[in-house]
Amino acid sequence: MSDGRRGPPGPELPRIVGDMMAFVGLGEAELDAVRRSAPVVLRHEAALTAAVYEHLLSFPESARFFVLEDGAPDLPRIERRKASLGRWLRDTATAVMDAERAYSLLAMGISHSHRTWGLGGQVPAELMVGSMSLVQAALTRILHAELPTPAEALEASIAWNKLLLVHLNVILMGYFLPPPSPRT
């Protein structure tokens, strides 16, 4: 597992992700549970992304990323962001955790933590954690409502939660990286 050093993980990242998956017990059975429930989850993709963004827009600390200079919602940007969240959800639902996925999650972390966006600046880590919690809660409700038995919903929910927290961990690794050195 990562030893907590704050340097770029480089070629070690896929191994670190593999260790994380082993630690939380995210194996083939859990990845299969995610894949099996994917069609049900993705039927609700639009409602899920809309609910997450409605929530983000209802708190000033997250809404400031999605407003124009005059404070009005930046609707095209909000639609783009919902589409990005939907794309991430579809990729996640494939339950593929290869090197390409690991580096794309790290890049996602870096883009939220190291770039500045409109009036918002950099996205605080706690909003990433909070958003993942919103997604987890929404997924659990969907699985509970849609899967044939509560036992299947429970197993699928456990598997999704493990996968989402491994994603979150890689995203947060981007936050631990040092800021880019100033141009000379």
Please give the Cα distance from 117 to 110 (Å, whole number): 13
* Piece of the chain touching ligand HEM by CB under 6 A; list 5-13, 38-46, 80-88, 175-183: 80-88
Class of residue 130 by CB neighbours under 10 A (exposed 0-12, middle 13-18, buried 19+): middle
Nearest residue (CB) to ligand HEM, 29 versus 80: 80
Residue type, 21: M
Please give the Cα distance from 150 to 154 (Å, whole number): 6
Determine contact, residues 114/174, Cβ cutoff 8 Å: yes
Determine contact, residues 143/157, Cβ cutoff 8 Å: yes
Interaction pattern, residues 34-73, with ligand HEM; x per rule: CB under 6 A: ----------------------x-----x--x--------
Please give the Cα distance from 121 to 145 (Å, whole number): 38
# chain residues binding ligand HEM, by CB under 6 A: 19
Nearest residue (CB) to ligand HEM, 84 versus 94: 84
Q: Based on the shown chain and the rule CB under 6 A, indicate whether residue 128 belongs to the binding site for ligand HEM.
A: yes
Residue 102: CB minimum distance to ligand HEM, A: 14
Residues 105-124 binding ligand HEM (CB under 6 A) are: 108, 111-112, 117, 123
Residue type, 163: L
Please give the Cα distance from 117 to 164 (Å, whole number): 24
Nearest residue (CB) to ligand HEM, 76 versus 178: 76
Residues that bind ligand HEM in the complex, under the rule CB under 6 A: 56, 62, 65, 77, 80-81, 84-85, 88, 108, 111-112, 117, 123, 127-128, 131-132, 135
